[in-house]
Amino acid sequence: MHGRTIDLGAALAGVLEHWRPRTLAALNDHEVKVARFQGEFVWHSHPDEDELFIPLRGSFRVEFRDHVEHLSPGRILVVPRGVEHRPVADDEVECLLVQRAGARNTGDVVHPTLTAPQG
């Protein structure tokens, strides 16, 4: 199959809910996703996979139990597998994510409103 370009603006226009990533592409055994963030996410970890955050618009922080990392366009963060964290966005953020295919957005936690449907 030949590659196709992806319009990130159009993809983000289709993301209407905060914390509900939309898969854009598959890359080996990973998925490239876009999401909108606003507010506090749930504390969680991904026991078997790393998670890459690439901010496209806006600033947010990723809280760890022992420190906080601040992200904005031009700054990326890899959260290592098994490390508990919580993204927090005071204002709306648009973000690109790279995760192993099939990874639940809330990792080891099932949250009644923040866990996105699989598939």
pLDDT band at 2 (very low <50, low <70, confident <90, very high): low
Other beta carbons within 10 Å of 26? 10
Tell me the HSE value of 117 on the side-chain side, using a 13 A CA sphere.
Answer: 2
For the chain, the average pLDDT equals: 91
How much is the pLDDT for 83?
A: 97
The answer to whether residue 115 sits within a structural domain is no
Q: Is 82 left (phi over 0), alpha (psi -120 to 50) or beta?
A: left
> Which range has highest mean pLDDT (25-34, 52-61, 103-112)?
52-61
Q: Residue 56: which of 85, 24, 103 has the closest Cα?
A: 24
How many domains are contained in the chain? Answer: 1
Reported pTM: 0.90
Residues of the domain holding 35: 8-100
Whether 39 has a pLDDT exceeding 50, the answer reads: yes
Q: CATH number of the domain that 44 lies in?
A: 2.60.120.10
- Distance between CA 104 and CA 110 in Å, rounded? 9
The answer to whether residue 51 sits within a structural domain is yes
Whether 91 has a pLDDT exceeding 60, the answer reads: yes
Whether 79 has a pLDDT exceeding 70, the answer reads: yes
The answer to whether residue 107 sits within a structural domain is no
